[in-house]
Chain A
């Protein structure tokens, strides 16, 4: 009754191709932005920032990145953890080599460096497809993590082999280091997440996004209708790695503060991001956010209930988490291969007709 196109008169092409064409959608979008930017920073406390909101935003950026590569361009990658490590370590090197450089530029630059590495590991995608490519990307995962563990230059010869972030501030407000305020951590991640999501939306509906999707659907056919596969695939690798690199840099500098390559960027992180986009929805920006929210909230919830209320072993909760995640992946692939985002789309479709179904 309220959610409908009727009464919306588009008088120009830009209006016609708006992202949120229906008025209620637009209001909802502004409301979410208002809550995220103007309400949450004042209500946030340390637990919510470090257990839920900051990891959610960081993983959302990573899944936006993987979604560009896998969801839009159809190239499976199991190397996300390795690329996040590139982002984190280049951010560390930049922060320690140029102490005067603003942290924002450090993070963006580490995204660019990761994009370069991504192109390098994306070159095989021109010849290798499907599962073969998935296994080839495992090479980047294992090689990069090994590199950061074994070459002391990357961790500045520190005795523990760990990297830990120095204190940096933006406009006089501390954003990294142990004394950071939760709202500052949250805000910097939110700014990046918002900017990157906005960029992703506009990229994927432009000509580049269409090329990616043509490549995903069938690359030979795409080539025949004039898509330059080299350009399409490598740009997908580059942009996806840029996103993932920024996620890695934020993960290290803002969220954790100190990381060890093997633990923080192992192959499980690659799968985690892949699961986020499967559960959230392949090729959907909303899906990246929903998937990240789900995969971050679900273990926290499970742990709170099992360990907090019922006082089970923490190990049991971990096993149950594995079981339920695996189970959910299979269930989603069988019943809703397009993920939670598709459920949202169906709901909107139904709402348009409600309460008169015809």
Chain B
């Protein structure tokens, strides 16, 4: 009984982690649907957004290490903390600017290229952003705290203790993250179903040429999609950053969104959510049950191997569109 409840607690925690994976995967799906670009840089965008937020909030001078090295000065921060709201707003603006620049400088020149070329270009973008973020804000581990409730939830522990005689440890941060993720998905669905831009987005996702011929500007749509992906990255960055601190390893965690995506299907928003939850719960449970027998730390590879095996049987993922190929 005790073990069963413990397994339940583990899977509940996995569920919460899965929601964070799903948040990152969501950004991938949005961009893939609208532009057919498999955006490898989404993970690094999460890192970049979190870094920018922390940097602005803590009043770090952008490029201070570079300036110090170039001019021989020793600047260390502005000496003030920016209000969280203002920092959030400025970070959002940065992500919008990034979206615009990506379209202007990269995507525009690669229209009609092989998707694989575009994929490799986003790997290049990922490297660039990684170096750029570190150069701008410094590579040390930063603590992100913007007032999201954190720590073990006493209410849940008390309530479950009364019911089962076993208190569940659940982080309040995870609960907030799940609520925000749910709101985000609802918001995105409403946006894509009922607004004019949303309809244009779906049209582009359906058929680029047909969308062009009814007068939808592809380039405007791309900027919008990359901006939304930037927003999703920011939200994911806030939660991941608050959970485990902001530094390079954040982008490796975000890499796990890839198998999530494969499992759920590249083109499906519900797929990203379900895939995230499956992987989150699966890897925690697997590490709990099988991990001790084979050396532990199975979370590193579990997601990828599951995706690999799963794809063998269903190449388009759980909810993806059937892949039809013609010569």
Contacts and interface: CB of A to CB of B under 8 A. Distances in A.
Interface of A: 74, 76, 123-124, 127-132, 134-136, 138-139, 141-143, 145-146, 149-151, 218, 220-221, 224, 267, 271, 274, 278, 310, 312-313, 315-316, 318-330, 333-334, 337
Contact of B295 (A150, A324, A334): A150
A134 B63 CA distance: 34
Contact of A127 (B125, B300, B304, B311): B311
A220 B110 CA distance: 25
A135 B124 contact: no
B124 A330 contact: yes
Given A220-B325, A323-B131, A150 B65 contact: no
B324 to A, nearest CB: 11
The 4 A-B pairs at the shortest CB distance, nearest first, are namely A322-B131, A326-B128, A329-B124, A326-B127
B117 A337 contact: yes
Given A124-B312, A326-B124, 8 more contacts: A131-B116, A145-B300, A316-B66, A316-B69, A323-B127, A326-B126, A329-B120, A330-B106
Interface string B113-139: 101110111011111111110110001
Contacts of A320: 131, 135
A330 B121 contact: yes
B315 interface: yes
A340 to B, nearest CB: 16
Contact of B65 (A131, A143, A224, A313): A313
Contacts of A138: 255, 258-259, 304
Contact of A135 (B69, B105, B116, B307): B307
A151 B308 contact: no
A322 B128 CA distance: 6
B297 interface: yes
Contacts of B312: 123-124, 127-128
A327 B66 contact: no
Given A124-B311, A146-B297, A319-B139, A325 B127 contact: yes
A149 B115 CA distance: 35
A94 to B, nearest CB: 23
25 contacts: A76-B116, A124-B312, A127-B311, A130-B116, A132-B311, A138-B259, A139-B308, A141-B304, A142-B301, A143-B304, A313-B65, A315-B65, A315-B139, A320-B131, A320-B135, A322-B134, A323-B127, A324-B131, A326-B125, A326-B126, A327-B128, A329-B121, A330-B125, A333-B120, A337-B117
A278 B259 contact: no
A124 B308 contact: yes
Given A127-B311, A128-B312, A131-B119, A334 B259 contact: no
B286 to A, nearest CB: 13
Most buried by A among B123, B135, B294, B312: B123
A224 B326 CA distance: 12
A339 to B, nearest CB: 11
Contacts of B326: 220
Given A138-B259, A224-B327, A131 B294 contact: no
Contacts of B130: 322, 326
Interface string B290-318: 00001111101100110110011001000
Nearest to A331: B124
Contacts of B113: 333, 337
A184 to B, nearest CB: 35
B25 to A, nearest CB: 12
A164 to B, nearest CB: 22
Nearest to B124: A329
A329 B123 contact: yes
B38 interface: yes
A313 B259 CA distance: 37
Residue among B127, B135, B266, B305 with max Cβ neighbours from chain A (10 Å): B127
A224 to B, nearest CB: 7
Contacts of B325: 220
A334 B131 CA distance: 20
Given A316-B66, A316-B69, A322-B134, A139 B307 contact: yes
Contacts of A334: 106, 109-110, 121
B235 to A, nearest CB: 23
Nearest to B102: A330
Nearest to B69: A312
A332 to B, nearest CB: 8
Contacts of A318: 131
A138 B312 CA distance: 15
Contacts of B294: 150
A333 B123 CA distance: 11
Contact of B259 (A129, A135, A323, A330): A135
B262 interface: yes
- Among B38, B115, B304: residue with most chain A CB under 10 A: B304
A282 to B, nearest CB: 10
A132 B304 contact: no
Contacts of A327: 124, 128
Given A127-B312, A150-B296, A322-B128, A135 B262 contact: yes
A169 B71 CA distance: 52
Interface in B229-268: 252, 255, 258-259, 261-262, 266
A142 B38 contact: no
A128 B311 contact: yes
A333 B327 contact: no
